């Protein structure tokens, strides 16, 4: 019987095989998950209907299940119209989830095109495609290691 919040069998299987430095992408509904992924990555779609499931819900489940070294958001290019609006509201939700999990990790933005390159890494093991409609909601997690 699992004690954490993550119940999805395929996601649990991939995470159980993953180790330190493995990358997990929680992708919003606009992310091109079929083409922007690493060569070793599996894609699991949780997109049921627009907005269900969202990235924050997936982050909450993953935080209950795996240790993390870092959390990276997709940074907004300066020439993007959204860049003038400030931070996407979903980033504050991520901070709240990280704090609720008792972690002291900071969100570390990676500029959009560099983000795609980071995802293309051989260390990318899993993309969880959501139906999140929030803009700039993609988040790349880097697994840590289990400590005593």
**pLDDT tens-place string over residues 30-53:** 999 999 999 999 999 999 999 999
Residue 143, φ and ψ in degrees, nearest 5: -70, 145
67 Cβ contact partners less than 8 Å away, ≥ 6 residues apart: 143, 144, 145, 146, 147
Instruction: Specify if 148 maps to a domain.
Output: no
In a domain, 35, yes or no: yes
Query: At 38, which CATH number?
Result: 3.40.1650.10
Tell me: pLDDT of 2 over 80.
no
pLDDT digits (tens, 9 = 90+) for 74-120: 999 999 988 888 899 999 999 999 999 999 999 999 999 999 999 99
Nearest Cα to Cα of residue 126 among 41, 55, 66: 41
How many residues are given for the chain? 148
Residue 1 included in any domain = no
Residue 1 has pLDDT above 70, yes or no: no
Residues 64/5, Cβ–Cβ less than 8 Å? yes
pTM of the model: 0.95
83 located within any domain: yes
Output the six-digit token pair for 61: 């489940």
Gap between the Cα atoms of 51 and 56, Å rounded: 11
The total of structural domains in the chain comes to 1
């Amino acid at each position: 019987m699992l004690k954490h919040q993550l119940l999805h069998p395929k996601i649990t299987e991939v995470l159980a095989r993953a180790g330190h430095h493995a990358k997990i992408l929680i992708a919003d509904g606009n992310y091109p998950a079929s083409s922007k992924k690493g060569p070793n990555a599996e894609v699991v779609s949780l997109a049921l209907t627009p907005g269900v499931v969202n990235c924050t819900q997936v982050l909450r489940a993953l935080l209950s299940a795996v240790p993390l070294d870092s959390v990276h958001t997709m940074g907004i290019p300066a020439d993007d119209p959204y860049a003038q609006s400030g931070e996407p509201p979903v980033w504050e939700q991520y901070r709240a989830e990280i704090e609720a999990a008792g972690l002291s990790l900071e969100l570390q933005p990676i500029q959009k095109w560099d983000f795609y390159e980071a995802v293309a890494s051989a260390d990318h093991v899993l993309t969880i495609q959501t139906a999140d409609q929030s803009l700039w909601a993609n988040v790349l997690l880097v697994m840590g290691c289990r400590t005593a």
